[in-house]
Structure 1
């Protein structure tokens, strides 16, 4: 039950971080939002190192840096896919891949959840697709390039989940220090090579900082959950994060959920209940 609570809380926090990130992206360039938020997350995790003590071994930092590279590249590919594609295709493709890859790897690693939990996994995968849909866009306008980028982004996010699973429980949150350092370097290098501005837009800084802090808090929750539970279950529950983003948009910004998205939120709740009951 503790693992389910940690993973579900992680999904809620990830979704909240995305909500603030979406607000910030309306006022700033994407790379500025990503880099400043990543730096904020890095500063947030530093005080946690003595509070959640661990052994900062070379392998621990290496796994974390590999995860950070995977996640950093995934963020870049995801935004590129959104820039050139249709949200109703890009979002569910990315989210589904980021959930499905850890499931396949977990099964390969020998993880065998209870049948009831597997039903919850199947329900969660369906929920990820539904909550990410935007019925107001025409999927037929999607082109091959954005679809390929969204697939790569999903692989990158899934890789982030998988690589952090390799870290021993005794590592504490040191892997996240390596992960965030690597992702900051990747995004900064991309900005420098492309000559993009890294200055946040007027009034966007609070939302950007909130994005970074919440994202790192979610990373901590994910690491604690995956160190104690199966990769299959934790990664799938975490991938339900779009549901909390939708609910925040509904109640804070007054945006309406379409019928498909509302059904996805319902399926997400059902999936959490099934996995918790297993």
Structure 2
């Protein structure tokens, strides 16, 4: 096969970043990159991203795409940083699902951010079933709303990069309680994925290692259909179980900084008059 899939695990957020390349042409795409962020100190750094940049250079790859599966709430993307660091030597384009505009509109109001909400922070916004070429490889974008409205998966050569739809079978599926999320929509998206050929490899964006099991990041459609703990009964049971579970979950630790950065493809906030950049936290007062 002409496809090569390499994964990089970010321990802090339990996130997998994927570097997918065409062996024939050495062209590559990077899916769901991660920056390093210390929430207590407010320090944003890029060691994880720099390791990937070094790997790209060392293997003489040409990075053409930096892709997001959605605007994540649990880590800050390194997309804009990587694009800036690679500069003119790599013609990489930032891209995500077209419904990012809906997410931008909601969260720019919540955080009072003065920003365009037309997706212009990205060079390409994908609609459902759009295709693009990565060297000799044909990549299909599949819209998978439910976790968030803008969620998409990337299908290439029998490999599906699922973003936050599926987890490993013993962890079930993603939460649906973010703005614009829907357990019904996610169920439909999951069924669409399960309609792919049994042997399709599903690459996870996260693994939380339940019960301390070994880290894992891939499974198949057949394995998910047979073993996923959230999909062993009816659609209504799934929706009810998902909604009940979501109501008990904590807010992601990096929700506020991550969303503010990620709806802008990882671009930094503007410098203020005191030469400092700020991310904001909406305050809810309980008396």
TM-score normalised by length of structure 1: 0.27
- Larger strand proportion, structure 1 or 2? 2
Bigger Rg, structure 1 or 2: 2
TM-score normalised by length of structure 2: 0.27
- Larger helix proportion, structure 1 or 2? 1
